[in-house]
C-alpha cells in the first residue's frame, strides 16, 4: 500500500514539474534576413516566418533588414502583418552598412521594437515619375499625401516620432542610427544579435493580443530560411532580372520566326518570356511601355517580310528603347528602388539590336546567294560539250553528268560552255 501511495506521489510531482521544466527551456528567437527590394516574395517570406514563429511558440521574431525600398502593395502587406502579429516583432537594420530606405522606413517603424546597428541609416525618398523626373504638382501631392498618412498611422500606433516620419516622406530626410535613436525614431542601437537580445530582455511590448514582457535570456536562435522557390521568385522579381529574361524571350521568339523549326530558340524564348512576364507582373507596369516593346517585336519580325531598307529596324530599336525606359512605373515614393537600371536597359538594347542586325544580314545574304542544288543551282555552271551541238542540239557534260543541250549556235565537242537556262531536263548553253 505504501508503495502505491509513493508511486502516486512521484507521478503527481512529476506532472507538476513538467510545466516548470518547460518554462525553464531557452526561449526561441526566430531570425530572418530580408535583403534587397521589397516585393511579393519578401512579403510572403515575412508572413510565413511570423506564422512559423507563432506555431513554435517563439519568444519573438527578429527581421534583419537591409533594403533600398520596394513595392507599395507588398509594403502594406508586411506592415499589416507586423501590426497584427500576436508575437513580438523586432525589426533590426543590420549589419553595419545596411539601410532601411523608402519602404524600409515603413517596415522598421511598424515593428514592436525598432533597432539599428552602428553604421546604418534610415530614410525615405521623394516621389518621382517612372522615368526618374519630377512628377507634376497634382500627382506629386496626391502620392505624397497618401504615403505621409500611411507612415503617420504607423508612427502613432508604435508611439514613434511622427514629425520625423512624415518629414522622411515629404522631404527625403535620411539619418544615421545615432540620430534615429536621439529623435525617437528607433528604440535602441545594438552591435549584434547578442547585444540586441540583452537590451530587449524584460521590455514590455504591445502585441495584437495584449502586452507581453520579453524574456530573451539564454535564448536559442532559429534561423528561418527562405525556401528555394521563394529564393527563385525573389530573383525573378528583381526588375533588372525580369527585364533581361523578357528580352531573352523576345530574342528567342524572333530567331524562331527567322528559322522556323529550330525549336530550341523558341522553347527557351517562351520559357524566358513567361518568367520575365511573371517578374514584371509583380511590378507596377506602365502599359504604354509594354505596348512599345510589343510594337518593337512586330517591327523586327516585319523587317524580314518587307523591304524597308532598315526603316523598320530603326523603328523597332526606338520602340524597344522607349518602351524599356517607360516599362516600370515608379511614381510612388516607396517604389523608387525598383526601377530598371538605365545601364541594364542600354546594354540590353544594344546587344539585342546588334544580334538582330547580324541575323538580318545573314538572312538577306542567304536570299541573295545562288542556289546550290536543284535545277536552278545549275544556272551559270561551266561544262564541256560531249557531243557536237549541231542544228541547235547536242550533249553536254555538267558536274560529271550528261545532259541534253540546246544552243543558238553550233559548238564543237570539247568546247567549254555555260548554262544559261534549263527547261524540261534540257539545258540551254552558250559558248564560253
373 half-sphere exposure, CB direction, 13 A CA radius: 0
Q: Determine the Cα–Cα distance for residues 263 and 250; give it in Å rounded to an integer.
A: 14
Answer whether 151's CB lies under 8 Å from 106's CB. yes
Asked about 129 being catalytic, the answer comes back as: no
If DSSP codes are grouped into helix, strand and coil, which group holds residue 133?
coil
Q: For residue 91, which of 116, 72, 70 has the smallest C-alpha distance?
A: 116
Q: Of these residues, 102, 174, 319, 336, which one is catalytic?
A: 102
Q: For residue 73, which of 43, 93, 46 has the smallest C-alpha distance?
A: 43
How far does Cα 144 stand from its chain's mean position? 26
Q: Of these residues, 33, 142, 157, 428, which one is catalytic?
A: 142
- Calculate the alpha carbon distances from 175 to 37, 119, 165, 201, 306 in Å: 20, 11, 11, 26, 59
Opening angle at CA 62, ends 56 and 66, nearest 5: 140
Q: Determine the Cα–Cα distance for residues 355 and 259; give it in Å rounded to an integer.
A: 14
Answer whether 243's CB lies under 8 Å from 345's CB. yes
Opening angle at CA 326, ends 325 and 329, nearest 5: 120
Asked about 142 being catalytic, the answer comes back as: yes
The terminus-to-terminus CA distance of the chain in angstroms comes to: 131
Catalytic residue set = 102, 142
Amino acid at each position: 500500500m505504501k508503495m502505491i501511495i509513493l508511486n502516486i506521489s512521484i507521478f503527481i510531482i512529476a506532472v507538476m514539474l513538467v510545466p516548470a521544466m518547460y518554462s525553464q527551456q531557452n526561449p526561441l528567437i526566430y531570425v530572418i534576413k530580408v535583403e534587397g527590394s521589397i516585393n511579393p516574395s519578401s512579403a510572403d517570406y515575412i508572413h510565413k516566418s511570423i506564422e512559423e514563429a507563432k506555431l513554435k511558440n517563439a519568444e519573438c521574431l527578429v527581421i534583419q533588414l537591409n533594403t533600398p525600398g520596394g513595392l507599395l502593395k507588398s509594403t502594406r502587406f508586411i506592415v499589416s502583418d507586423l501590426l497584427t502579429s500576436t508575437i513580438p516583432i523586432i525589426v533590426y537594420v543590420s549589419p553595419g552598412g545596411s539601410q532601411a530606405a523608402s519602404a524600409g522606413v515603413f517596415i522598421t517603424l511598424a515593428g514592436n521594437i525598432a533597432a539599428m546597428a552602428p553604421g546604418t541609416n534610415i530614410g525615405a525618398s521623394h516621389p518621382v515619375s517612372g522615368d526618374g523626373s519630377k512628377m507634376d504638382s497634382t500627382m506629386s501631392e496626391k502620392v505624397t499625401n497618401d504615403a505621409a498618412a500611411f507612415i503617420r498611422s504607423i508612427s502613432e500606433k508604435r508611439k514613434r516620432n511622427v514629425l520625423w516620419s512624415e518629414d522622411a516622406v515629404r522631404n527625403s530626410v535620411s539619418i544615421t542610427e545615432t540620430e534615429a535613436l536621439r529623435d525617437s525614431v528607433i528604440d535602441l542601437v545594438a552591435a549584434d544579435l547578442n547585444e540586441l537580445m540583452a537590451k530587449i530582455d524584460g521590455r514590455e511590448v504591445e502585441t495584437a493580443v495584449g502586452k507581453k514582457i520579453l524574456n530573451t535570456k539564454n535564448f536559442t536562435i532559429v534561423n528561418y530560411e527562405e525556401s528555394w522557390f521563394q529564393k527563385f521568385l525573389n530573383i525573378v522579381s528583381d526588375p533588372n532580372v525580369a527585364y533581361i529574361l523578357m528580352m531573352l524571350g523576345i530574342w528567342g521568339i524572333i530567331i524562331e520566326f527567322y528559322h522556323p523549326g529550330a525549336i530550341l530558340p523558341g522553347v527557351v524564348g517562351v520559357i524566358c518570356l513567361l518568367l520575365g512576364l511573371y517578374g514584371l507582373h509583380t511590378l507596377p507596369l506602365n502599359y504604354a511601355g509594354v505596348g512599345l516593346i510589343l510594337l518593337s517585336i512586330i517591327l523586327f519580325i516585319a523587317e524580314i517580310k518587307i523591304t524597308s531598307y532598315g526603316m523598320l529596324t530603326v523603328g523597332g530599336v526606338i520602340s524597344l528603347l522607349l518602351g524599356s525606359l517607360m516599362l516600370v512605373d515608379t511614381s510612388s515614393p516607396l517604389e523608387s528602388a525598383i526601377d530598371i537600371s538605365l545601364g541594364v536597359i542600354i546594354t540590353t538594347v544594344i546587344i539585342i539590336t546588334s544580334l538582330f542586325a547580324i541575323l538580318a544580314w545573314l538572312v538577306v545574304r542567304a536570299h541573295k546567294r545562288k542556289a546550290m542544288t536543284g535545277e536552278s543551282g545549275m544556272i551559270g555552271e561551266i561544262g564541256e560539250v560531249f557531243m557536237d551541238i549541231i542544228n541547235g542540239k547536242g550533249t553536254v557534260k555538267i558536274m560529271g553528268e550528261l545532259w541534253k543541250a540546246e544552243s543558238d549556235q553550233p559548238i564543237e565537242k570539247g568546247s567549254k560552255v555555260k548554262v544559261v537556262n534549263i527547261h524540261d531536263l534540257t539545258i540551254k548553253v552558250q559558248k564560253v
